[in-house]
Amino acid sequence: MDVRAFIFEILGFRVIVQPFFFVLPGIFALYMLQDGRSVVFLAAMVAVFFVSILVHELGHALAARTLKVQVGDIVIHGLGGYVTHGHTTPARQLIISLLGPGAGFALAGVSLVAANVVPPEGQLGEVLMWCFGLNLFWSALNLFPILPLDGGNALRSLLGIFTTTRTAMLVSGGIGSVLGALLAIGGVLTSEIFLMYIGGMGAYTSYRSLSAARAAPAG
């Protein structure tokens, strides 16, 4: 663990914020600064990024704790975060995987309602709409059945309920490899670097899972 990481506790969970987290929102803030945005607005947007990731990971952590699964740290890094927790059954893992995006959708809904309540003048409403859009997009993207996204883990867990672990890894790894490659190609065609990265990372991670399942003994 990086000794420069910022550490705090919330709801009984230890949260480790790695310094690299600030790179992506920092780049985003610089772009918006060029558009004449105020420093206060940029700070609010960095806070939106942080809170959105934290709520997402708390969804996983609270689900695991509710299901009596041992929960470790919540780690927030440059491109999202993750929760360390103990091994559990496929059914419980399915719930844990889905509750992260579920928490994000809930935050999106709260942000949308709040944006329609606050006065239309000022920047608070715009910040809330950014929070709505960010959480809606990220939660939906996370449900793609591509590893290491939550949708990929959920698919593997769902298959694991009805079949062997090896078969679940083979099927989910194969589906994730194809969809990840297609997403990366879509990113290339649309010049969307973020989609290229997510698709490429997803295709690579899913293919590694597929390869590991092929190398494992059957049965």
The 10s digit of each residue's pLDDT in 27-76 is 666 666 666 667 777 788 888 989 999 999 999 999 999 999 999 999 99
Q: What percent of the chain has pLDDT over 70?
A: 89
pLDDT in tens, 116-156: 888 767 788 888 998 999 999 999 999 999 998 999 999 99
Average pLDDT, the chain: 88
Provide the token pair at 30.
């610089």
pTM of the model: 0.87
Lowest mean pLDDT among 8-12, 39-43, 93-97, 125-129: 39-43
pLDDT at 10 over 90: yes
Q: What is the pLDDT of residue 4?
A: 66
Q: What is the pLDDT of residue 1?
A: 47
Q: Report the C-alpha gap between 36 and 42 in whole angstroms.
A: 10
Q: Report the C-alpha gap between 48 and 85 in whole angstroms.
A: 26
Q: What is the pLDDT of residue 36?
A: 66
How is 65-113 classified by DSSP, letter by letter?
Answer: HHTT--EEEEEEETTEEEEEE----HHHHHHHHHHHHHHHHHHHHHHHH
In the structure, what pLDDT confidence band is assigned to residue 159 with cuts at 50, 70 and 90? very high
